[in-house]
Amino acid sequence: MKIKQRSKKKKHLGKIIMLIVLAGIVAAIVYSYYQQEASKGQPWVWITSGPFSINKNQYKLGEHIFIVVSDLKPTDVGEIDIVDPKGDTYSKIPFNGTIKSSFKQFFEPNTERNLSLCNATSLVGHWNIIFDGVPYKSIPFEIINEYIPEYSNKTEGLDTVPKGLDPC
């Protein structure tokens, strides 16, 4: 009689241990999945040159490029030139370390700002952020030929230039 009770207890104990192991495996898989998803949400690797930084080196069409300037010296005076793939100056951002030692700026490349950028595909390529007036190296970045999900149906700022004005 005692043998039957022991074998029943062993069977129950075996089932409990198996359930605990199975629950541990499921928990590990779920944890691993959420860790991977969390790392996809913020893939920023800051690219830095002196006090100037951008949040990553590759962007999709429609994405904002974030520039962070921190700890400018009082002698740091000049402007940030954003140069498009054709080599033209797309935008200029002045800075003066005696007035402001830190600031944040963002921009979104689009075709509205420059007529030589005819359509969204002319935004694709290697861009540069050049620092005039200071000895810091330029920061290169790339815009790839993919839209961010919010821009897949939106064409504002990425339309082609009207006929007759097309310099391309």
Expressed as residue numbers, the domain containing 29 is: 1-42
Q: What CA–CA distances, in Å, run from 4 to 8, 12, 13, 54?
A: 6, 12, 14, 71
Looking at the domain assignment, is residue 162 inside a domain?
Answer: no
Domain check: are 64 and 115 in the same one? yes
Looking at the domain assignment, is residue 160 inside a domain?
Answer: no
Would you write out the chain's pLDDT as a tens digit for each of its 168 residues? Answer: 555 556 666 667 778 888 888 888 888 787 777 766 655 555 678 899 999 999 999 999 888 999 999 999 999 999 999 999 989 999 999 999 999 999 999 988 876 655 555 667 788 999 999 999 999 999 999 999 988 876 655 544 444 444 444 455
Domain check: are 142 and 83 in the same one? yes
| Separation of alpha carbons 5 and 127, rounded Å | 77
Q: Look at the block and give the residue holding tokens 């961010």.
A: 148
- Give residue 37's pLDDT: 62
- What is the CATH number for 109? 2.60.40.1930
Looking at the domain assignment, is residue 101 inside a domain?
Answer: yes
Looking at the domain assignment, is residue 164 inside a domain?
Answer: no
- Give residue 162's pLDDT: 47
- Give residue 114's pLDDT: 54
pTM strictly above 0.85? no
Looking at the domain assignment, is residue 86 inside a domain?
Answer: yes
Domain check: are 127 and 81 in the same one? yes
Q: Total structural domains in the chain?
A: 2
Domain check: are 1 and 35 in the same one? yes
100, two tokens: 């402001």
β-pair partners for 142: 58, 126
- Render pLDDT for 69-92 as a digit per residue (tens, 0 to 9): 999 999 999 999 999 998 999 999
